Structure 1
């Protein structure tokens, strides 16, 4: 039985490690990726056969420098317009009518400033969100560099009220190239409805809309991969939902199939905690690119860009540009919640997240919320743990008798028919003593989905990002800086191993002692909230183990001598009886 428990523990470790490996994509490598395309260049996606598609962006070649026509409709000087909503502080430039900053008021970066989802210090020729692209490179360059006239703002500022607000950019040059961009904002969400129309000398063009690069500096620095190296964050990647299934493409794999056809429920770019996506774009064609941007005085960073080509002009689309918070995503579109990668046990992780939020609404601290929710889960699965302990105790009590049976068949080959007789005797012993050999493992396996779902929920929940707990734990989504909680967790695992019924086999005992070390290494760089959960869960299990041991009493071990020894004693007894008769 202890061998089965050992196997179950190993499987638990492998599942946890495999879960992290499978659902967190590997680190994107810069080798083999193309350098970032300037704002006036892009690779043209190939249209699907038999379909009518929008004009593709221009090929990735340097633009031909040519004199730009004078501006007819626009402004004389470059300026920035600040857009303020309840959740976002955005900055637009009238040069190209593009966004230069998108700061989330409720989320902070490492310096304590609002998270900016537009990367900082980009090269001057780098595309930014809401740039436009057409087949003609020269026109693309003019669209993204002309000075637009701005309407809808009060000077250099637009405050979005309850009724929403609209910001419009219009520009025209002497050649007859005319462009209009319209941004519709809501006060309390992270949604922008974007409309673009381009006319070149009376001929309507259908521009593609550029999204990216990436999701700010935090996502660009994120590194995915194995939990053993401390990487519990997901780097920027392409994401889209099609046919009720969310598909994710890591940077290293984008080049294998960059172009994807709709219909989509959403498509865009995400990282561990944030999402930029077109919502319900329908038959839109999207081309993803993995790019490396050489930032000044810094190591080049990996980004993802997305180019959206529309079926017909004018180009209009609803964009979500914000946190992957379950309630926020659901309020925009129910399918957006699939962007949160809860994995296979998402059906269980979602109600656990709801329970965590409900508890937080009462106690006001996510650290204590995790502890209380862990205790609630432990209470719920306490009967399973009790049954597992009782079953293992019964197996421990019949170990000597089972070993006596095995000793009689020592040395037999696996293929020897006599081994079947040994198995029959062992099963008869189980039946006689009322022992189920799977009774200790099955309850452990039944509670494992709950543990994995809790693990997935804590690993993905943006609610823990920047959430303070107590003392030195200032961010539950980050590792313990002093490794105190992982070490305490290791101590509880060693303690639990000591009081759990085990076999007398020294080899298996040594392996059981190694398991806490393996889990400790895995959790050294895990989010603090996750380690707190595991630590509290172990403490509860230890307390329940002592309580169960007190209820069922000490083990009653039946000492059974091997058959040969019993036979010799019987022979000796019979001879003594014969002598006394004489």
Structure 2
């Protein structure tokens, strides 16, 4: 790092402080205004597009013969109509309770037992969308509209009335339908146990007069926690429902927000997976084959207000033997066990390479502590212990820079009238470097150690913003959900007070009074940003501030309190 070249150049410690605060401000502003995956509630009013078969988007080239036929139908039955009148078939495991209807052999409910909904009951990942004109999950359509409508209203014969996956019995549910016209259809669902409980294999066959018919598989109206507010993309605007994103992965992951699907709704190619995700949950087909995916959006009214659902339809050049679907939480370990690349659906941001080890560390700590709030505090302490030497070295270096600051300014003032291109200006840098050498100060040693700690802070920020482990996780007293903001706004206010305290004791040599007042405003801005941040994130920031303050006092005790700067 080169020496300052003019009297107006800020001191080293001032630049470090400004760089840290500016980096955090940029991060918060980016999250508030430019985060790519989170959409405000107003977008939920997007007009509904016709479901699956009724979509008017022209088909892509890869699956044109199939897609062209599946977009021809305009009489798709709503989910409520297609599901009415059929018997309910229940499939239950330790993690999931699923309900199928014999009418259409479709999935009506996929309840995640360990994840609470808005009112404390287990979350049904498939919204009850009676006012949405979309086919239910695992509906089939073909090139023949009559066959499609027949399949939607047909009463299939199930292989069992219930299927309990908690024992050692079978894990396959089969539905059959046949009518006098020569139409025969079969749907087979294969369920995984234990560590892959959110995977279901789906295979189907449609025969007409003994001839196989190609078909399109429909996802249903969508997935998501529509009754419960999620952390927003911008903490300035509070918590609101996050409309799901369409998500595909071929060579890299691609997300399209619900509001952008009008611009691109069709994806063709050799896709690894495709589906829909929201902040915490995912519904996706594991493809790894040539596929044609067509998305559609559907507006609906829920008890919590207007919502936008995203559905998709899958078609293939030839009917597949089996397609696996993941319907569950965006839990890193669950996703990794299901498909290695599914972990990319968790948007950890730029520091994903560091977030994953931190996530594993947080879960490891929680295995001993049993409370994610305290686990965050314990991990924060461990992280601050690990970076203590870097922070200590940075503070010591800034202290030395503080002591020689008047002499630095004196040298700069002697050359103030010279232009930057004047060869004599080089003498100033030579004198400054000689001063640094005499005083035993390295200009870079003040900022480099602190900058090395920034990836850890940003990675922990990203982790606590998206980790499903915090969803519904209580801490203590009034904080009963670490993924939601503090309902009493107590912890953000205390956090702001610690930032003021930290700012007050931070060396500020080289700053004029106006600059110091500006820097003191920063804690107020951060307090406002964090009012609606997930409380788990606020707890982390609060205790990190307290530990930094403690380290500042400890450093003062080790190297002595700041003295008067040496005279020029």
Q: Please report the TM-score for the alignment, with normalisation by the length of structure 1.
A: 0.87
Q: Which range moved further: 509-518 or 125-134?
A: 125-134
Mapping of 1:338-417 within 5 angstroms? Answer: 338-410=344-416
Deviations 1:261-292 (A, max 9, x none): 23222211111111111124422221222x13
**Alignment equivalent of 2:23, drawn from 3, 12, 16:** 12
Deviations 1:478-513 (A, max 9, x none): 111111111111111111111111125112211221
Aligned-partner Cα distance in 2 for 1:111–1:85: 22
**Alignment equivalent of 2:50, drawn from 23, 37, 43:** 37
**Alignment equivalent of 2:487, drawn from 467, 481, 485:** 481
Answer yes or no: is the 8 Å Cα contact 2:486–2:535 preserved in 1. Answer: yes
Answer yes or no: is the 8 Å Cα contact 1:195–1:315 preserved in 2. Answer: yes
Aligned-partner Cα distance in 1 for 2:29–2:295: 28
Match of 2:104 in 1: 96
Q: Which range moved further: 162-171 or 417-426?
A: 417-426
- Cα 1:158/1:326, change in 2 over 3 Å: same
Pair 1:191 & 2:199 matched: yes
Answer yes or no: is the 8 Å Cα contact 1:349–1:457 preserved in 2. Answer: yes
Pair 1:58 & 2:70 matched: yes
Match of 2:431 in 1: 425
Deviations 1:557-576 (A, max 9, x none): 35536xxxxxxxxxxxxxxx
Q: Secondary structure at the match of 2:236?
A: helix
- Cα 1:417/1:232, change in 2 over 3 Å: farther
- Cα 1:492/1:394, change in 2 over 3 Å: same
Match of 1:48 in 2: 61
Answer yes or no: is the 8 Å Cα contact 1:44–1:57 preserved in 2. Answer: no
Answer yes or no: is the 8 Å Cα contact 2:14–2:508 preserved in 1. Answer: no
Q: Secondary structure at the match of 1:269?
A: strand
Aligned-partner Cα distance in 1 for 2:539–2:304: 35
Answer yes or no: is the 8 Å Cα contact 2:52–2:71 preserved in 1. Answer: no
Mapping of 1:102-181 within 5 angstroms? Answer: 102-123=110-131, 125-153=133-161, 157-160=162-165, 161-181=167-187
Q: Secondary structure at the match of 1:295?
A: strand
Q: CA deviation at 1:420?
A: 4.5
Mapping of 1:60-79 within 5 angstroms? Answer: 62-63=74-75, 78-79=86-87
Aligned-partner Cα distance in 1 for 2:385–2:72: 60
Answer yes or no: is the 8 Å Cα contact 2:216–2:315 preserved in 1. Answer: yes
Answer yes or no: is the 8 Å Cα contact 1:27–1:223 preserved in 2. Answer: no
- Cα 1:223/1:302, change in 2 over 3 Å: farther
- Cα 1:499/1:558, change in 2 over 3 Å: closer
- Cα 1:92/1:415, change in 2 over 3 Å: same
Answer yes or no: is the 8 Å Cα contact 1:90–1:103 preserved in 2. Answer: yes
Q: Please report the TM-score for the alignment, with normalisation by the length of structure 2.
A: 0.89
Gapped regions of structure 1 (runs ≥ 5): 66-75, 562-582
Q: CA deviation at 1:346?
A: 1.2
Aligned-partner Cα distance in 1 for 2:443–2:132: 69
Q: Secondary structure at the match of 2:443?
A: coil
**Alignment equivalent of 2:314, drawn from 308, 322, 326:** 308
Answer yes or no: is the 8 Å Cα contact 1:393–1:555 preserved in 2. Answer: yes
Aligned-partner Cα distance in 1 for 2:562–2:301: 67
Match of 1:521 in 2: 528
Answer yes or no: is the 8 Å Cα contact 2:137–2:221 preserved in 1. Answer: yes
Corresponding residue pairs, total: 546
- Cα 1:474/1:77, change in 2 over 3 Å: closer
Q: CA deviation at 1:427?
A: 3.2
Pair 1:505 & 2:505 matched: no
Aligned-partner Cα distance in 1 for 2:507–2:273: 52
Match of 2:555 in 1: 548
Structure 1 segments (4+ residues) deviating >6 Å: none
Answer yes or no: is the 8 Å Cα contact 2:348–2:466 preserved in 1. Answer: yes
Q: CA deviation at 1:413?
A: 5.7
Pair 1:206 & 2:211 matched: no
Q: Secondary structure at the match of 1:35?
A: coil
Q: Which range moved further: 382-391 or 311-320?
A: 311-320
Pair 1:266 & 2:278 matched: no
Match of 2:258 in 1: 251
- Cα 1:354/1:219, change in 2 over 3 Å: farther
Aligned-partner Cα distance in 2 for 1:493–1:458: 20
Gapped regions of structure 2 (runs ≥ 5): 1-11, 78-83
Aligned-partner Cα distance in 2 for 1:306–1:557: 68
Deviations 1:37-80 (A, max 9, x none): 2475334652426x786454533763299xxxxxxxxxx96221
- Cα 1:241/1:296, change in 2 over 3 Å: closer
Q: Which range moved further: 546-555 or 366-375?
A: 546-555
Pair 1:318 & 2:324 matched: yes
Aligned-partner Cα distance in 2 for 1:548–1:12: 24
- Cα 1:219/1:395, change in 2 over 3 Å: farther
Q: Secondary structure at the match of 2:434?
A: helix
Aligned-partner Cα distance in 2 for 1:311–1:220: 39
- Cα 1:17/1:327, change in 2 over 3 Å: same
Structure with the larger RCO, 1 or 2 (CA within 8 Å, 6+ apart): 2
Aligned-partner Cα distance in 2 for 1:9–1:459: 20
**Alignment equivalent of 2:451, drawn from 445, 451, 457:** 445
Pair 1:2 & 2:7 matched: no
- Cα 1:42/1:151, change in 2 over 3 Å: farther
Answer yes or no: is the 8 Å Cα contact 1:41–1:133 preserved in 2. Answer: no
Q: Secondary structure at the match of 2:301?
A: coil
Q: Which range moved further: 225-234 or 496-505?
A: 225-234
Match of 1:570 in 2: none
Aligned-partner Cα distance in 2 for 1:508–1:417: 32
Aligned-partner Cα distance in 2 for 1:383–1:137: 70
Deviations 1:121-146 (A, max 9, x none): 42374312111122333322221122
